[in-house]
């Protein structure tokens, strides 16, 4: 961690909860957060959340009371937890109905795709850091096994669908599909964008409609995309 901080790392994230703790004790999360604070890093901790979880978050936050005294560089959030991919043998995790991704107040763009780049253990570069990222081939930008990070990024083709997901979100895109296929069944039980995104990419009907009609959203979405990028660049220039 020290060498990463010296190389420019500013923020580090940890995840914990009932599923994670089977492999990483919560005490190690506290130790990691404390070490990060000693190096001046910002720390984000995500706690898995699903209906039957037995994880007692007080075990984490009681320890972090000490860490909080070192400054306001800590965020602790709960997020709906889902299996990494859909398939046989996956655990079924239940969530409250209010978490449904197709509720009007829950439909939003994806802040991860395009803004976060992940490198997998197999050295693939992926334009996302979501739970299901390794199950969606279209998110793979290339391999850094024999090319530099910059070379892979520069060689990645422009992709309207990724921009649409970033600005509008996969739930909006499936609602868009339904305009052309009125009897298309939306996966309303999903509680996480990653579930919807995986569903969309694996659904032949949805992808066919998007290939044919996505350009109809291009002018509106690209204007919104450039406007958001301009505001972000202004904030970075101002040091916000």
Proportion of the chain above pLDDT 70, given as a percent = 86
What's the pLDDT at 235? Answer: 44
Reported as a single tens digit per residue, the pLDDT across 230-239 is 755 544 344 4
The CATH 3.40.50.1100 portion of the chain extends over 1-81
Q: How much is the mean pLDDT over the chain? A: 84
The DSSP code for 22 is G
* 172: confidence class by pLDDT, cuts 50, 70, 90: very high
Reported as a single tens digit per residue, the pLDDT across 135-154 is 899 999 999 999 998 999 88
**Structure-token pair, residue 231:** 């505001």
Largest CA distance in the chain: 56
Q: What are phi and psi of 125, to 5 degrees?
A: -100, 125
Reported as a single tens digit per residue, the pLDDT across 69-118 is 666 788 888 877 776 555 444 566 666 666 778 888 889 999 889 888 88
Proportion of the chain above pLDDT 90, given as a percent = 36
The pTM of the full predicted model, rounded to 2 decimals, is 0.73
Nearest in space to 185 (alpha carbons), one of 205, 170, 162: 205
Residue ranges in the chain assigned as alpha helix (H): 2-6, 26-38, 58-68, 149-155, 160-167, 170-180, 193-202, 204-213, 218-238
Fold of 1-81: Rossmann fold (3.40.50)
Which of helix, strand or coil describes residue 118? strand
113 vs 116: CA distance, rounded Å: 6
The sheet with strand 42-49 has its strands ordered as 11-16, 42-49, 74-80
* More confident: 114 or 174: 174
């Amino acid at each position: 961690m020290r060498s990463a901080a010296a190389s420019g790392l500013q923020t580090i994230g940890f995840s914990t909860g009932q599923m994670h703790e089977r492999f990483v004790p919560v005490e190690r999360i506290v130790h990691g957060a404390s070490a990060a604070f000693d190096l001046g890093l910002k720390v984000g901790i995500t706690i898995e959340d699903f209906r039957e979880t037995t994880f007692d978050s007080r075990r984490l936050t009681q320890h972090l009371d000490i860490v909080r005294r070192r400054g306001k560089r800590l965020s602790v959030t709960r997020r709906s937890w889902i299996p990494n991919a859909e398939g046989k043998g996956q655990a079924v995790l239940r969530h409250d109905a209010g978490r449904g991704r197709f509720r009007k107040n829950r439909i939003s763009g994806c802040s991860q795709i395009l803004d976060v780049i992940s490198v997998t253990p197999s050295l693939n570069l992926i334009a996302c850091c979501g739970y299901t990222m390794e199950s969606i081939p279209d998110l793979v930008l290339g391999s850094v096994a024999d090319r530099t990070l910059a070379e892979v990024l520069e060689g990645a083709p422009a992709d309207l669908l990724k921009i649409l997901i970033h600005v509008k979100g996969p739930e909006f895109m499936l609602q868009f599909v339904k305009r052309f296929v009125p009897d298309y069944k939306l996966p309303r039980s999903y509680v996480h964008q990653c579930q919807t995104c995986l569903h969309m990419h694996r659904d032949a009907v949805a992808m066919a409609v998007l290939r044919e009609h996505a350009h109809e959203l291009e002018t509106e979405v690209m204007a919104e995309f450039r406007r958001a990028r301009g505001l972000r660049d202004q904030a970075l220039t101002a040091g916000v």
